[in-house]
Amino acid sequence: MSGLRKFKLGVGAIAWTNPGIKSFADNYTGEEILSQMSEIGFEGTEMNRKFPSDLPMLKALLKRYRLEISSQFKFVLFSDRAHAERETETFRKHADFLRGLNCKHVIVCEAGGSPLWDPRRPDSGVAIPLDDAAWRALTDHLHAAGAYCRKLGMRLVYHHHAATAIETPAEIDELMRRTDPDLVGLLLDTGHARYGGYEPIDLLRKHRGRIGYVHLKDVRKEVLARVKSEGLDFRQAVMQGVFTVPGDGCIDFAPIIGHLIETGFDSWALIEAEQDPAFADPYRYQKMGKEHIEFLIGRLSATDGQKSEIRQKA
């Protein structure tokens, strides 16, 4: 195993601004966010509503702070054929925009069935499983979207997500079974994996060949247990602080980072934690998360060096 990582280490802007939780503080400008990311030493971030959508202006800001845009998360409604034409057009415009930023990945997540993001249902309840017709529609449209991305020199990666129809181990495995590996990749989100009942390292080992992008997110075990026992929904869980940065929760990131390095993962890994910035200072927490990942990489490098020295002496 080489101790030197090949992947780029970025950070999610959601630590500074989270439009999904209206009660969370929202006190940072886009430039302030980029400035802090750069000062901590991250290499990039995902597109965010606080950043200018004008490409020349955005590129100038990114150049100033020595950062890249790695991708952007997008909900889609591919499981409903009645929405296919509109969804396809919107998706293609989204992919074209990311191509203009030299992104290599397009992140999508199915909203159909979600109690929080499905526009066809009220903002309440639990996720509704996909029936066979919805699965076929989702698969067909993911394949079409993946083919469009490939034509642009990009790769589609699917983000499994809490409070959606693709959350549990069985649902994630079924998505991988139904989709073409050449057209649909997987985004591993360690926090959402644990939240949905999939041990992150098991998900990584099982589907490593499909994983093209990673979100490094930790989970507070005691909060997750309370969320499950009290039947709280996902938004309530985030407000209670179920997620945090690597090293501050219950997930062991050592085998995860080790496996990424050992298998030569060379894409993006972003530290991401949805927390209220009024209580979890974004700069301090993201720096803490980065330092934990770099500590693990350093430890792996040292171990690899010791093994090499032993082999040379032998």
pLDDT digits (tens, 9 = 90+) for 142-158: 999 999 999 999 999 99
pTM, two decimal places = 0.94
Task: Say if 1 falls within a structural domain.
Answer: no
**Residue 20, CA atoms < 13 Å, CB-side half-sphere:** 17
Tell me the CATH number at 296: 3.20.20.150
Element (H, E) at 6: none
Confidence bin at 125 (pLDDT 50/70/90): confident
Range of the structural domain that residue 196 is part of: 8-313
For residue 240, being part of any structural domain is answered with: yes
The position carrying tokens 């940072």 is: 28
Averaged pLDDT, 158-183? 98
Question: pLDDT at residue 27 above 70?
Answer: yes
Label residue 197 left, alpha or beta by phi (over 0 means left) and psi (-120 to 50 means alpha).
Answer: left
Whether residue 184 is contained in a domain is answered as yes
Assess if residue 303 is contained within a domain.
yes
Output the average pLDDT for the chain. 94
Pair 37, 65: CB distance under 8 Å: yes
C-alpha–C-alpha distance, residues 124 and 115, integer Å = 5
21 found inside a domain: yes
Does the pLDDT value for residue 2 go beyond 50? no
**102 phi and psi angles, rounded to 5 deg:** 65, 30
Q: What is the mean pLDDT of residues 54-74?
A: 98
- State how far the Cα of 34 lies from the Cα of 196, in Å rounded to an integer: 31
* Paired tokens of 212: 């093209």
DSSP per-residue string spanning 238-270: HHHT-EE-TTSSS---HHHHHHHHHTT--SEEE
State residue 207's pLDDT score.
98
Cα(49)–Cα(19) distance, integer angstroms:
9
Q: Average pLDDT of 19-42?
A: 96
Residue 54 lies in a domain: yes
C-alpha of 153 from chain center: 20
Q: SS3 for 93?
A: helix
Q: Is 3 a domain residue?
A: no
Domain count within the chain = 1
Helix (H, G, I), strand (E, B) or coil at 161: coil
1 has pLDDT over 70:
no
Which tokens go with 194?
């644990």
Long-range contacts of 140-143 (CB under 8 A, 24+ apart): 140/78, 141/76, 141/78, 141/79, 141/84, 141/87, 141/88, 142/78, 142/108, 142/179, 142/183, 142/184, 143/179, 143/180, 143/183, 143/184
Residue of 24, 32, 18, 36 whose CA lies nearest to 73: 18
Tell me the pLDDT band of 306, cut-offs 50, 70 and 90: low
Task: Determine the Cα–Cα distance for residues 8 and 212; give it in Å rounded to an integer.
Answer: 12
239-256 pLDDT, tens digit per residue, is 999 999 999 999 999 999
Task: Judge whether 271 lies within some domain.
Answer: yes
The pLDDT assigned to 305 comes to 53
pLDDT greater than 50 at residue 314: no
Q: Is the pLDDT of residue 310 over 50?
A: no
pLDDT at 121: 87
202 vs 34, 107, 256, CA distance in Å?
33, 22, 9
What is residue 122's predicted lDDT score, i.e. its pLDDT?
77
pLDDT at 311: 47
What's the pLDDT score for residue 307?
Answer: 56
d(CA 68, CA 239): 29
In the numeric block, which tokens belong to residue 312?
A: 């040379």
Mean pLDDT of 133-143: 98
Please determine, for residue 131, whether its predicted confidence score (pLDDT) is greater than 60: yes
d(CA 37, CA 182): 33
Spatial separation of the C-alpha atoms in residues 225 and 235, rounded to whole Å: 15
Provide the pLDDT for residue 76: 98
Q: What pLDDT digit, counting tens, does each position of 257-305 carry? A: 999 999 999 999 999 999 999 999 999 999 999 999 999 999 988 766 5
